[in-house]
Structure 1
Amino acid sequence: MIPLLPKGGAILPKYSAPQIYLFMVFMMSLASSTIFTTYSIYYVTELGLSPFQLVLVGTVLEITVLLFEGITGVVADTYSRKLSVIIGVFILGSAFVLEGSIVWMMHPATLLPAFAWLLVSQMLYGIGWTFVSGADTAWIVDELKEDGAGRIFMRSKIFALGASLLGVVCSVGLSLFSSNIPFLAGGAVYFLLGLVLLRHMRETGFIRREREPHSSPVREMGRTWVSGISVLRHQPLLLLLTVVTLFSGAASEGYDRLWQIHLIDEIGFPDAAVPMAVWFGLISAAATLLGMLAVRFAGTLIDLHLERKISAALFLLTCVRMGGILLLAVAPDFTMAIFAVLLLGMVGSVSDPVYTTWLNTKLPSRNRATVLSMISQADALGQIAGGPVVGYIGSRFSIRASLLAAGFMLLPVITLFGKVMRKRGV
């Protein structure tokens, strides 16, 4: 972790861009793991959400992302990636502090019911995330001039997984006192990160777009947006990946929102004497450790400079992901269900840096954050379209049925990757 001040001195040290990026990844992963390791306990036992409400929470989040992602991506490309990241970090902190405070608002005198406050916090979460999403990776790729981008993304994933392990411990320990405290602690970590970035984050690689005479800020943002669309139109592989992201988002919403309640309500835990927070902590810790091993192995196996290798890796990882979701849906017992969850955790750990490296190195600097935001919008649109369907199936039939539906939503993704591989002779 980066110290704020040097020993015995008041002059601020100058940290390199990779150091700042790794610190940012570490802190955001720590906050996220602290919040989300035991979040379902807060949602289900304290706030009393149904499967449909759980997915609706995610749908509101993704609608917010869909609406704001393009705007914030253009801000990052037009004005400043650093500014976009810092604004987003402070908004994220506010969102999670509000979310953790909802349990104290559950009485008739409150202006809004608890579920409404939860939706407000999710909208804040979505806005904050869109300011950070795309801007953070665009910033570090610009600072490195695209040299070593693959290495820094693989290394950052190891940092993220290490922070997640620490976050698991924090989440379980805090949740044993009260299930809302992890949200408050995670929000505080975001605020701390924002303060550090204000003092130490520098932006030297970004070249701000020159404004035309008498051009308004809105018109400048419009020019950036149109140029981003042009990049997608003239690169068929990027356009294809946008479609892949659409279907992948539809599948992920069902799994991400329902796997924990599936374990609570339909699978059950083998030892009822062990608190649920401890069980989820053990599962998250195991998934994180296995993910770290998988990322290290993938880093030596996959050449991130060869496009056909990346295409083959993403195809294989998607097949395994679909199989893992379907296995969880039909798992007859706790052992099989946990095997599926851990397998999916490893797949996600490897897929993220591979996908991020390939995507960022294929994009021009001047449009990078905008195009990344457009692809993120495709993910949000997929989750908006698929989430309510999966949630309705869970409330109408069973959570197992929801997970089966989520798994089969990956079939179009596998088909598209297969076509790409055949065209390129992989």
Structure 2
Amino acid sequence: MIKLSPTTVFYTHAFWLDISFTIIFTINMIYQVEMAHLTPLQLVLVGTALEVSAFIFEIPTGVVADVLSRRLSVIIGIFITSVAMSIQAIPAFWPIMFGSALWGLGYTFTSGAHQAWITDEVGAENVGPVFIRAGQFGRAGGLVGIPISVALAGLGLQVPILTGAALILGLGIFLIGWMPEHGFTPTPREERETWTEMKTTLREGFSLVRRRPVLRDFMLIGLFVGLYSEGYDRLWTKHMLDNFTFPVLFSLTAVQWFGVIEFAMTGISIFSNEIARRKLDLKDMRKSVTALQWLYGLMV
């Protein structure tokens, strides 16, 4: 079977995966609240299972991409993700939590491996524009996926999840047939990530933070952003469903309103990213810090 060019595969992967995830996650939290009847604590625990799994397996699964094949690692991760999403279509706490943890495992197979693969194939000096274009394809896939998700939810809240899982499975089959790999060379043993190396890096990092107050401030900012985001991401949908009455407009259902909200958020994100790309000079540290301060202020 003739392989496609690396950039074509990379762009297809970005569009295909984003449309699949958007079909799933536009209604996923509604499904967990309305159909699986998860409590606020259970909603947060599902997210915690994902984060803990990703942390634990990041180093072991990285060996596959470093030693055997970037392509193999990506494909394994895609198939595991498909299975994980399918399991989460069972409307009960333990299957959803297990599926979330399994997705964390699948994520670690693709995390970094996909970017390393395209870098190997096109060269580090050429990969920057490829990443930018892939991001555009991904956002386009997200916009397409939102109305599809809302339409499928009319047939049942599990339908978008199973559809997205099937699409991810199809992506894995596509990658088996058409994803090339010509630039890969195994990472030398001394350059591979290990638990010992991670502990050394953490120890040196904390030592540096103690000596540099500005780094301590950035660390605290990251901590509070992380604490806020997990709770917000997991609970805002339940809060809206329980405590907010959606306007009576065009006979829209709650699911359709969430689709409208998601579409608006994605559109604003695309617009904001384009403004930042054109106006913000990332080489100017003072302007970058000022922009971040305004953004965090707006978030509050």
When the two structures are superposed, what TM-score results if normalisation uses the length of structure 2?
A: 0.85
Is 2:54 aligned against 1:65? Answer: yes
Secondary structure in 2 aligned to 1:209? coil
Please, which runs of 5 or more residues in structure 1 have no aligned partner? 1-10, 104-113, 211-219, 327-426
**Matched residues in 2 for 1:222 and 1:147: separation?**
21
Match of 2:245 in 1: 268
The answer to whether 1:77 aligns with 2:51 is no
Show the counterpart of 2:110. 132
Report if the CA contact (8 A) 2:23-2:146 is conserved: yes
Q: CA deviation at 1:290?
A: 2.2
* 1:48 aligned residue (29, 37, 41): 37
Which residue pairs with 1:204 in the alignment? Answer: 182
Aligned to 1:319: 293
> Which residue of 2 is the match for residue 87 of structure 1?
76
Whole-angstrom distance in 1 between the partners of 2:268 and 2:178: 33
Structure 1 Cα separation of the partners of residues 291 and 242 of structure 2: 29
| Structure 2 residue 122 is matched with structure 1 residue 144 | yes
Deviates more, 1:291-300 or 1:86-95: 291-300
Aligned twin of 1:155? 133
Q: Deviations over 1:299-357 (max 9, x none)?
A: 333456x3x45x843x455434533443xxxxxxxxxxxxxxxxxxxxxxxxxxxxxxx
User: What is the CA-CA distance between 1:231 and the residue it aligns to?
Assistant: 7.5
Say if 1:185 and 1:134 are closer, same or farther in 2 by CA, change over 3 A: same
Which of 129, 145, 151 is the aligned partner of 1:167?
145
CA distance in 1, matches of 2:234, 2:8: 33
Q: How many Å separate the matches in 2 of 1:294 and 1:133? A: 25
Q: 1:277 to 1:316 in 2, by over 3 A?
A: farther
Whether the aligned pair in 2 keeps the contact of 1:158 and 1:295 (CA below 8 Å) is no
Q: How does 1:289-368 map to 2 (within 5 A)?
A: 289-302=267-280, 306=283, 308=284, 312-313=287-288, 315-316=289-290, 318-326=292-300
Q: Where do 5+ consecutive residues of structure 2 fail to align?
A: 210-214
The answer for the alignment partner of 1:24 in structure 2 is 13
Distance 2:140 2:114 in 1: 19
Letter in 1 for 2:228: A
Which of the residues 173, 176, 183 maps onto 1:195? 173
Equivalent position amino acid for 1:59 in 2: T
Kept in 1: contact 2:66–2:192 (CA 8 A): no
Q: Evaluate the alpha carbon distance shift between residue 324 and residue 33 of structure 1 in structure 2; reply closer, same or farther with a 3 A threshold.
A: farther
The corresponding residue for 2:212 is none
Q: For 1:370-409, what aligned pairs fall within 5 Å after superposition?
A: none
Q: How far apart are the structure 2 equivalents of 1:84 and 1:166?
A: 28
**Number of positions where the alignment pairs a residue of Structure 1 with one of Structure 2:** 288
Q: CA RMSD in A?
A: 2.8
- Report sequence identity in percent: 36
Contact in 1 for aligned 2:78/2:168 (Cα 8 Å): yes
CA separation in 2, counterparts of 1:125 and 1:265?
Answer: 28
Map of 1:118 onto structure 2: 96
Partners of 2:46 and 2:190 in 1: CA distance:
30
Q: What CA distance in whole angstroms lies between the structure 1 residues aligned with 2:51 and 2:201?
A: 24
**Secondary structure at the counterpart of residue 268 of structure 1:** coil
The corresponding residue for 1:253 is: 230
Partner Cα distance (2:244, 2:109) in 1: 38
Residues 263 and 166 of structure 1: CA distance in aligned 2, closer, same or farther (over 3 Å): same
AA in 1 matched with 2:263: A
What is the distance in 2 between the residues matched to 1:290 and 1:300?
Answer: 15
> How much has 1:142 moved relative to structure 2?
2.4
Shift of 1:283: 1.1
- Deviation of the 1:228 alpha carbon: 6.8
Residues 141, 149 of structure 1: 8 Å contact kept: yes
d(CA) in 1 for partners of 2:200, 2:178: 35
Instruction: State yes or no: 1:181 paired with 2:181.
Output: no
Q: For residue 207 of structure 1, give the secondary structure of its aligned residue in structure 2.
A: coil
Amino acid at match of 2:71: K
Quote the Cα distance in structure 2 between the aligned partners of 1:120 and 1:29.
22
Contact 2:59–2:193 (8 Å) recurs in 1: no
> What SS does the aligned partner of 2:62 have?
helix
Q: Give the deviation of 1:229 after TM superposition.
A: 6.9
Q: Kindly tell me: are residues 296 and 28 of structure 1, through their superposed partners in 2, closer, same or farther at Cα, counting changes over 3 Å?
A: same
The secondary structure found in structure 1 opposite 2:248 is coil
TM-score, normalised on structure 1?
A: 0.61
Instruction: Please give the alpha-carbon distance, in whole angstroms, between the structure 2 residues aligned to 1:26 and 1:45.
Output: 29
In the alignment, the residues of structure 2 paired with residue 249 and residue 139 of structure 1 have an alpha-carbon distance, to the nearest angstrom, of 29
CA shift in 2, pair 1:228/1:206, >3 Å: farther
Deviations 1:137-164 (A, max 9, x none): 1222222222243322222221111101
- 2:243 alignment partner AA: E
Amino acid at match of 1:260: T
In structure 1, the residue corresponding to 2:72 is in which secondary structure?
Answer: helix
How far 1:21 sits from its partner (Å)? 0.9
Q: 1:320 to 1:72 in 2, by over 3 A?
A: farther
